[in-house]
Amino acid sequence: MKHSMFGKKLKMRLGGGIVIAVILMAIFAPLLAPHDPYDQDLMSRLIPPFWNAQGDWTYPLGTDNFGRDMLSRLIYGSRLSITVGVAAALLACTMGTILGMWAGYSGGYAETAIMRLADAQLAFPDILLAILIVAAVGGSALNLILVLGLSGWTVYARVMYNMTRSIRERPFVEAAVSHGARSAYIIRQHIFPQLIPVLTVVATLQVAQMILQETALSFLGLGLPPPTATWGNMLAEGRDRMWAAPWISNLSGVAIIILVWGINMLGNGLREHLDPNQRGRQ
Amino acid sequence: MAEPLVEIRNLAKHFPITKGIVRRRQVSEIRAVDGIDLTIHSGETLALVGESGCGKSTAGRLILGLLPPTDGAILHQGVDIAAMNPAQLRQMRSRFQMIFQDPFGSLNPRMTVRDLIAEPLKINGYGKAERLEKADALLEAVGLGSQHASRYPHEFSGGQRQRIGIARALALGPDLVVADEPVSALDVSVQAQVINLMQDLQQDLGLTYLFISHDLGIVHHIADRVAVMYLGRIVEVATKAALFASPAHPYTRALLDAIPVSRPDQRRPERALSGDLPDVASVVGGCRFAPRCPFATDRCRTEDPALRDLAAGHSVACHHAEALRADNSKPRI
């Protein structure tokens, strides 16, 4: 990654700053939002943002088709994106790590069963699986988390499987066996700690993927049903008025881009920071 | 010599070679260790020598119960560890420990030296205070001060790391220590220090060493007895003096002839072996060394020689050992 635009420190600061800002925004949404995000006012619908000649500061980022304040909706929308993204990534991470370590450490039938299942799942698109399941069970925050989490475990499983396999052949693991260590001890003391740096990076980058997928599902109408404020829903609502009121789609799109970009930067910065081959380079 | 600490009977380890993705079937096997008998006496240093791939490391791991044997018995003070289940074996492990070849890979890079040395104690349920006290004492014993205790392995040189490995191997107070090429990864100047440390510790603690090596110079320095392995078999066992002075097996002779001599005028005539180590799976009948042996006869190619006593404490697996031995007039090294 030595060709990257920024140094790893700048990446981590900038990415981390964006992520922290969005998280704070989500937590303090009721304090920050100038209006109720669900308060419809048909008299003031489709007001453009302040930089437009028709805009004014009552609604800094304008209003949507129902006269709801865009800024407030964006602020509240971050709550769902962050919650679903982080929770789904954690679920996928836990599942994938346990299964991957199990397959890599024990080998044999467990390895074959787990890794072939992962291959099978990777063979068709996650989003398709997610659409199928959400269409069947309906969209709710919990369902979204479960669907995205269950479809995302393969990434972790494959990474953790390969790392576990290589670590378990290292001499210090054999040394622990020769001292009489049990498998549980070896996994806890010698294998898992070596996985943490990689796990952190994969999990961080995965949060961005999860947020994009949640947005995509919402955009397709398979996320939380309207009028819930989510960035994907807002993107979808703005689609019908792309020419008359482009700010509705554009603003929610920009919000998604900034968050995902920030998370990816943080993840890349972390990866470079934790990669021993990159140490000392700046 | 003292009573046997370890007795190995007909020990074998065959690694299967499998083919097929859906239905795995065994197409062949590598006979890394193929029926060896060996006795390790209490308090001695037995060197196990041979070229790369002859099965000496596998034999060491079998003796430590780190690999399950295909066949045979491994008696530690009369108790067969080959017949034990994993839980029983764990109870036995503190009696035999290992010094590893790779001083870099054998220490977990994320653990401090104190934690590394105390790890065997932790695994075996010692209390924290006792662990720390013992770890510091062990550090002292291998010539590292306790000021090194909270550092990480990457801060040490290869020789120092090997000392850490030795301290860890001794933490549980083992009877037998299997040292698998303990100095082959070290500079020559450091090798002597580590070897001398091992000898000092042996004297102080009454250890028994199984010293696996391909370096006959070091073996000559440290060993009491030497066992020579070739292609999964032991071809000759003798005291160090007898083996270096009058090797009875042509392979042992070839090994000794391959030791570089420091003075050119004392160089022996070249008797280098021709050919490479053959594929063990391909050996069928006859002596395994016959394809490379300059003295091989028809009998050698059809009849597999058993390990037999040539003299007291000197065993060899060769049909023509007596004749070859008579030919050995010059002392070596």
Of the candidates B93, B107, B108, the beta carbon closest to that of A178 is on B93
Are B318 and B305 a contacting pair, CB within 8 Å?
A: yes
CB contact under 8 A, B123 and A178: no
Residue position matching structure tokens 């099978």 = A120
* A31: number of Cβ within 10 Å: 8
Residue A158 at interface with chain B, using a CB cutoff of 8 Å: no
Out of A172, A185, A189, closest to residue B106 by CB: A172
Q: Contact B168/A174, CB-based, under 8 Å?
A: no
A175/B contact by beta carbon, under 8 A: yes
Mutate to test the interface with B, among A109, A116, A179, A188 (most CBs of B within 10 A): A179
Contacts of B87 in chain A (CB under 8 A): none
Helical segments of chain B, H only: 56-63, 86-92, 113-123, 128-141, 158-170, 188-205, 216-222, 240-245, 250-257, 298-302, 321-326
Cα dihedral B236, B242, B245, B247, rounded to 10, equals -20
A180 to B90: CB separation less than 8 angstroms, yes or no: yes
Residues B217 and B304: beta-carbon distance below 8 Å: no
Here the ipTM equals 0.84
Counting beta carbons within 10 angstroms of the beta carbon of residue A260, is it exposed (0 to 12), middle (13 to 18) or buried (19 or more)? buried
Report H helices in chain A.
Answer: 8-27, 29-32, 70-106, 108-122, 126-137, 141-168, 171-178, 183-186, 192-219, 231-239, 246-274
The model's pLDDT over A154-178, given as tens digits with 9 standing for 90+, comes to 989 999 999 999 998 899 999 999 9
- Residues A214, A84 contacting (CB under 8 angstroms): yes
pLDDT of B268-280, one tens digit each?
665 666 666 666 6
Residuewise pLDDT in 10s, chain A (282 residues) = 445 556 778 888 888 899 899 889 888 888 887 878 787 777 777 777 777 777 677 777 777 777 788 888 888 888 888 888 889 999 999 999 999 999 999 888 888 899 999 999 888 887 888 888 888 887 788 888 888 888 888 989 999 999 999 998 899 999 999 998 898 999 998 999 888 888 888 888 888 888 888 888 888 878 777 778 888 888 888 888 888 888 888 888 899 899 999 998 888 888 888 765 544 443
Which residues of chain A neighbour B171 with C-beta distances below 8 Å?
179
CB contact under 8 A, A180 and B119: no
pLDDT value of position B331: 43
Nearest CB neighbour to B110, from listed A181, A185, A193: A193
Q: State the count of interchain CB pairs (< 8 A) between A and B.
A: 53
Q: Could A180 and B102 be called an inter-chain contact, meaning their C-beta atoms sit closer than 8 Å?
A: no
| Residue A274 contacts B where some CB pair is shorter than 8 Å | no
- Across the interface, whether the CB atoms of B120 and A171 are under 8 A apart is answered no
pLDDT, residue A198, reads 87
Of B93, B105, B172, the CB nearest to A172: B105
Can you tell me the distance from the alpha carbon of A87 to that of A82, in angstroms, rounded to the nearest whole number? 8
Q: Half-sphere exposure of B135 toward its Cβ, with a 13 Å CA cutoff? A: 25
CB A175 to CB B98 under 8 A? yes
- pLDDT per residue as tens digits for the range A223-247: 777 778 888 888 888 888 888 888 8
Closest-CA distance of chain A to residue B209, Å: 16
User: How many Å lie between the alpha carbon of A176 and the closest alpha carbon of chain B?
Assistant: 7
Domains of chain A: 2-280 (1.10.3720.10)
Average of per-residue pLDDT values in chain A: 84
Q: Which residues of A touch B97 (CB under 8 A)?
A: 178-179
Strand-pairing partners, residue B17, are: B28
| Partners of B225 in beta bridges | B46, B239
- Residues from B contacting A (CB-CB < 8 Å) are 64, 66, 90-91, 93-94, 97-98, 100-102, 105-108, 110, 119-120, 123-124, 165, 168, 171-172
Q: Would you call A193 and B98 a contact, using CB atoms and an 8 Å cutoff?
A: no
CB proximity A171 to B under 8 Å: yes
CB-closest option in A171, A178, A194 to B105: A171
pTM above 0.95?
no
Interface test with B, best of A172, A174, A279 (most B CBs within 10 A): A172
Q: For every one of its 333 residues, what pLDDT tens digit does chain B have, with 9 covering 90 and above?
A: 567 899 999 999 988 888 777 777 777 788 888 889 999 999 999 999 988 888 889 999 999 999 899 999 999 988 898 888 888 898 889 899 999 998 888 999 888 999 999 999 999 988 889 999 999 999 988 888 888 888 888 889 889 999 999 999 999 999 999 999 998 888 888 899 999 999 999 999 999 999 999 889 899 999 999 999 998 899 999 999 999 888 889 899 888 888 877 777 766 665 666 666 666 656 667 888 888 888 888 888 888 888 888 888 899 999 888 887 776 654 444
The pLDDT value given to residue B280 = 61
Residues β-bridged to residue B31: B14
